[in-house]
Structure formats: C-alpha cells, structure tokens
Structure 1
Amino acid sequence: MEQRTVLVVLFDGVQSLDVTGPVEVFTGAGLAHGGDGPAYLVRTASLDGELVRTSSGLTLVPDHALPDAPVPHTLLVPGGMGTRPEDPALIDWLREHGPRAERLVSVCTGAIRLAQAGLLDGRRATTHWAYCAKLARDHPGVEVDPDPIYVRDGHVATSAGVTAGIDLALALVEEDLGREVALTVARHLVVFLRRPGNQAQFSVQLSAQTARREPLREVQQWITEHPDEDLSVDALAARASLSPRHFARAFQAETGLTPGKYVDRVRVEHARRLLEDTSDGVEEVSRACGYGTPEAMRRAFLKALGTAPAEYRRRFHPVPPAAAPAAPTRTITAHADR
C-alpha cells in the first residue's frame, strides 16, 4: 500500500486542537491498518521552520520549513487566532503549493487561509460558525454553507470548528483505509466513528433565535420537552393563546423559523440523541419523537441528515468486527456509489 504524506501547516496563533486532533487520527490510522508500514507519514511545517506558539500558549516544533517540505498527498491547514492578521508569505506559499497536493483540507478558520490563496473559488465550503459570514463577505466566489460540520467539494475538504476536524479526518481515513480502520481509531480516541458531515454545527435551540414574548418562549420550551405531543400550529397557537395565523406569523418573526420547521428540527435532534444514547428500537424512537411511524422518521432523517436512522445508529453503536455476521456470497453489478 502506498504511504500517504500528510503535511500540517503551522503558524503562530494556530489552534492546538486543530493540529493535534487530525494528527492523532492520521497517526493512529497509520498504525492500525495492519500493513507493512504506517499508512500515513504525518509531518508539520512552519514557514521558516521555527517554533510556533499556539493560541493557548503551547509551543510546537515543526519538522520542516514549508519551502523544504515534500509535496504531500494531503495538505492540512488548521485555524486559530493566527488566521486573523493576513500573512502574505504564507498565502503566497499556499497559492503556489496548495494545488500540488492531491487532497486539500482545512480545519476551522483554516478555510479563510485557503480562500485568501484563491483555493476555494467556485467551491462549496464551511468554517467555524462565527466566521462563516466573514468568509462569505470577503470571498464572494466561495459558496459558504454555515450549517454542516464538514464539506467535501472534489479534492477540497473544509470543516467547522475544532472537533469537526476530527470528524473530517476520520471520514478521510474511512475513505482511504476502510471503515474498520476508522472505527479502531475512533474507539482508541473515545469518539464517535464519525458524525455525518451534514450534521448541523448547532442544536436547534442554539441556532434558532429565542422569542422575545414570553408565551412564544414557553411554546419553544414546550416543543423541546414534548416532541411526542400534538405540535400542530393549531395546538401550539392554543398554548400561546393566539390565533393560528397570528401565532405562525409571530413565531417566525421572532425565531427565524416557521413553527413547522422548528418542530421538524427538534424532533430530528431528539431522535438523534435517543439513537446515540439508548438501545431503544427505531419504532420506539419514532413514537417517542412524535413521528408515529418509522417510515415518517426515516423520511425526516434523509431530508435533514442524508442518512437513514438505522445507518445513523450504526455510526454510534457499530457491531464489533468479531461479532459481525458474515455477509452472504452474492454477485452484483453496480455503478460506483460516490
């Protein structure tokens, strides 16, 4: 198996977890794949090869100066406070050398550096939620999606803040070396195998605005605490002592979401937590979340997360390799699924 080089760019003010999270994933995967040698050769480099100080005060020792570093398979640009002031020399290096990498990855505000180098033009990307508006404003050629924890667009992958870099790194390992290797690394790091990339950065309660008027705030709380109840506009309007039309208009004006969309998001989020944290069956979860039937919940998951409830659960409660039943032998003809 060909060894893949992962080069992580370092600079003063870098967020240490943006560096160490993916490094631990790739290093662990390199040892876990069971080949003759490590599957990944992970290296770090600063522009001048000198020590860098992270935003938390830790000092990192790079392996190379960037001009002397080998052309990597995967070039990873982390984020942090160091991305706020412009760094023309680093941007110039990225502009020249970034296209040479087979895979270009950013964590958190590292996407801003890629955009400054013109490497995200015409692409869909994400970054830390607090900087999505800035990325979109400063780089109109980038299609910024503020919701997912990571985004893949061709050979370029961008992720949201801090721990999302671990999710993205696990996804890349799964793509390179298979699910079992990614699962082994996730278990070692005591993290989920990986959250789906289109999972929202925020819970619905955080992403939606809090209503100003107390009756509407009470309705928001009621929805959160009683996802299995009748949450139709008529029922919710009655709780707020408003007419259905007045309630729907006021709720959207004060929260930024229609009552129906808010309810949909709360139910999906509640179902996710039950699938992650309990052993309840899909049918039981669907009833507890107000869907009524597993098929209704399945449609909601596919629309919101791009995956079915059963597959979502497998990412959090995978069958150990030794216990997995042997797949029946069969011959299939299929197109590539990705």
Structure 2
Amino acid sequence: MTRIVFALVPGVHLLDLAGPAQVFSTAAGLGHPYELCHVSERADVPSAQGLTLRASTHWPALGAGDIVVVPGWRRAPGHPPAPVVAPATARRIAAHHAAGGLVASVCAGAFALGQAGLLDGRRCTTHHELQDDLARHHRSATVVRDVLYVTDDRVVTSAGIASGIDLALHLVAARHGPATAARTARAMVVYARRNGDAPQAGAMLRHRAHLSDAVHRAQDLIDARYTSPLRLTDLAAAAGVSERTLTRRFTAATGLTPLRYQQELRLEHAERLIGQGTTVEAAAHAVGFTDARMLRRLRLRSRIPAAPTAAPAATADSVVLAAST
C-alpha cells in the first residue's frame, strides 16, 4: 500500500487538491493500492473556494515508497515570504525526502517545499503568476517557466491548478507504466499529457488523446502484447467492432493503422535498448522482430520527414499485425 499524504494549508485551492487526489483514487480503482491521507495543522481547513475541509492533525508513518503532496493555496503575487507552513510540517516534508521519499507540489505549494529546503540547487516550477516570486525568494533554485511540471531528485513541482493532474499522471506512469496512466486518464476523461521540458511522451500516451473506447480497447491489447504477432480479427473482437470499422476508427483516432501503432511501440522500446548498449540485432529480437532488417528500416524512416500520403486502406492490416518482420 502506497500512502499519498496531502499536506493542506488554509486557503487551499480545491482543484490543486482534487485533481491529483482523483488521479490516485482512479488508479487505486484500477487495482493499484493507494491510500489517500489528508493532514493539516488544524482539523478544519478553509479552502479558497469557501468549502471547509476536514483533515487529520496527525501524520501517518511514512515509508520511502510513499508520496507527500502540497497543494497550492490562494497567494497574491508579491506577498511577503513569511513561512507558509509550520516549522514542524516543513521538517516532516524534508525528513520524508531525506529518507528516500518523493515530495510534490502544485502551484504555490512549491513555496512550502522551498521552506523545507528542498528547492536549493534544484529545478522547479510553479504557477506563471508566482514564478518571479519563487525565483526571488529561493535564489539558489532554478525556476523553469512555461512548463506543466518539473522533476529533480524526487522533488516534483507543477504549475497551477489543473497541472496537478498532469503531475499525478506522470507519477502513475513512472510507477506503473504509461498504459496505466493512459487508462487512468481515460477514466477521468482527460488527455494524458506530459511536460514539454521532459522526454517526449511514448506512443502509449501520445496516441491516447481521443475518446474512442473501441480504439482504447485495441490499444490496451497491443500495449500488453506488442512483441507478439496480433491478428486483426482478435483486436476487432477485443474492441467489439468489425475489422474494417476498427481500422477506420483506429486511423481516425491516432493517425496510424494498428500495424503502424505496434511498430511504433516496438521502435521506441528498441531505441531505448540500443541507447543502453544493446546491439541492433538483439534489440530487434527483444521487441519481436524476427531479424534486424525491419528495425533498421523503421529507424531510418523515423529520421526522414515523411511526405503527405493518402490515408491507408481500411484493410491495410488484413491478417496479422507485425507479419512482415
């Protein structure tokens, strides 16, 4: 069981809290054990939107695998840099990180991490209206502007309000894989997005920004078995539609046929292996190609800007995906 501890400050923004909380709660509903806890210096916590929240005044025991999240609160730009949390709370946040745990913030929550000494020498971000203040009050930090979130040595800071959802989806992807993050995002009816300053999102996330359940079901199967030949008939059965309908909807939703999507997954995984020192031949076999020729062709094609082409025919993947390996 992983504990997600939300440290609440008076004036907390509801979406700063509710967005990440919903992500972890949804992931728990998909079978990943998360326990959400809410702590504060006082039991009653007024929110910026007028709703009073109830929190525990006692912190639970935390392990290195647990996460502490500080949601943002209403803070006017230029506000004096007075301590934003009690010294005891700041010490708890710092101690959790020192023990190997991960700490995160949404919006003005970055100031609490700064008070805990966790921004010194690290990259971070916050809401665009507060970035100048954060840089001024924490001069040893590097404030990254115009991004959704920044990670630096188990310190994850995000921009304002809804970006807390992106931060939490990133943490779910890091722990359980991008397919789980994509399913979590789909259940929440949000795009599975990544920070523009981070490495590019994988194909599992990049092609999930649609609302076609049939295509998502087919992608789930390809994601789980991308190294194996997959019959289009099996994909269509999993999606609950005909082969022709699946290919048409898949192409419209992702810009790829099912075969191209599977090849893109294989290529990404192979590139990761090659970057770690694996030979092209070994990487090709590891991701499901029978030899390295197809992998070499895909690598070459990925480096050449593609000319506009007509949409593929509805029967382009007529028998078996990855048959030409």
Place the TM-score, normalised by the shorter chain, in its bin: 0.5 to 0.7
Cα contact 1:151–1:198 (8 A) shared by 2: no
Distance 1:168 1:5, change over 3 A: same
- Offset, 1:159: 0.2
State the match for 2:305 in structure 1: none
Q: Select which of 68, 91, 95 maps to 1:99.
A: 95
Structure 1: how far apart are the matches of 2:24 and 2:145? Answer: 26
In proportion to residue count, which structure has more helix?
Answer: 1
Letter in 1 for 2:49: S
Distance 1:320 1:11 in 2: 38
Give the superposed CA RMSD: 2.9
With over 3 angstroms needed to count, the CA separation of the structure-2 counterparts of 1:41 and 1:311, relative to structure 1, is closer
Q: Secondary structure of 1:176's match?
A: helix
Unmatched tracts of structure 1, length 5 or more? 200-304
- In the alignment, which residue of structure 1 is the partner of 2:158? 159
From the superposition, tell whether residues 82 and 46 of structure 1 become closer, same or farther in structure 2 (CA, over 3 Å).
farther
Aligned residue for 1:18? 16
Aligned to 1:76, which of 45, 69, 72? 69
**How far apart, CA to CA, are the structure 2 residues paired with 1:335 and 1:149?**
27
Report SS of the residue matched to 1:129.
coil
User: What amino acid sits opposite 1:65 in the alignment?
Assistant: T
Q: Does 1:322 align with 2:215?
A: no
Structure 2 counterpart SS, 1:328: coil
| CA distance in 2 between partners of 1:170 and 1:18 (Å) | 14
Alpha carbons of 1:311 and 1:176: their partners in 2 closer, same or farther (altered >3 Å)?
Answer: closer
Correspondence list, 1:226-237, <5 A: none
TM-score (norm 2): 0.61
Q: Offset of 1:90 from its aligned partner?
A: 2.1
The unaligned stretches of length 5 or more in structure 2 are 229-265, 278-325
Find the partner of 2:45 among 49, 52, 59: 52
* TM-score, reference length from structure 1: 0.59
Which residue type is aligned with residue 81 of structure 1? R
Structure 1, residues 42-80: CA drift from partner, whole Å, max 9, x if none? 1000113x1111011011111x214x4322510000111
1:61 aligns with 2:60: no
Deviation at 1:320, TM superposition (A): 1.7
Structure 1 residues 184 and 312: alpha-carbon distance in aligned structure 2, compared to 1, 3 A threshold = closer
| Runs (4+) off by over 6 Å | 308-312
Per-residue deviation, residues 1-50 of structure 1 (Å, max 9, x unmatched): xx1110001121111111111001001101113xxxx51111000113x1
Q: Name the amino acid aligned to 2:23.
A: V
For each residue in 1:270-304, what CA deviation from the matched residue of structure 2 results, as whole angstroms up to 9, or x when unmatched?
xxxxxxxxxxxxxxxxxxxxxxxxxxxxxxxxxxx
What number of residue pairs does the alignment pair up? 222
Percent identity between matched residues is 35
Q: Deviations over 1:260-279 (max 9, x none)?
A: xxxxxxxxxxxxxxxxxxxx
- State the 1:88 CA deviation: 6.2
Instruction: Quote the Cα distance in structure 2 between the aligned partners of 1:96 and 1:336.
Output: 37
| Matching residue's letter, 2:194 | P
Q: What's the counterpart of residue 117 of structure 1? A: 116
Per the alignment, in what secondary structure is the counterpart of residue 207 of structure 2?
helix
- Residues 85 and 112, structure 2, Cα contact 8 Å, conserved in 1: no
Assess, with a 3 A threshold, how the Cα gap between structure 1 residues 164 and 336 changes in structure 2: closer, same or farther: farther
Q: Say whether the 8 Å CA contact 1:14–1:53 is kept in structure 2.
A: yes
CA–CA distance in 1 between the matches of 2:202 and 2:7?
37
SS in 2 for 1:65: coil
Q: Is the 8 A contact 1:95 1:119 kept in 2?
A: no
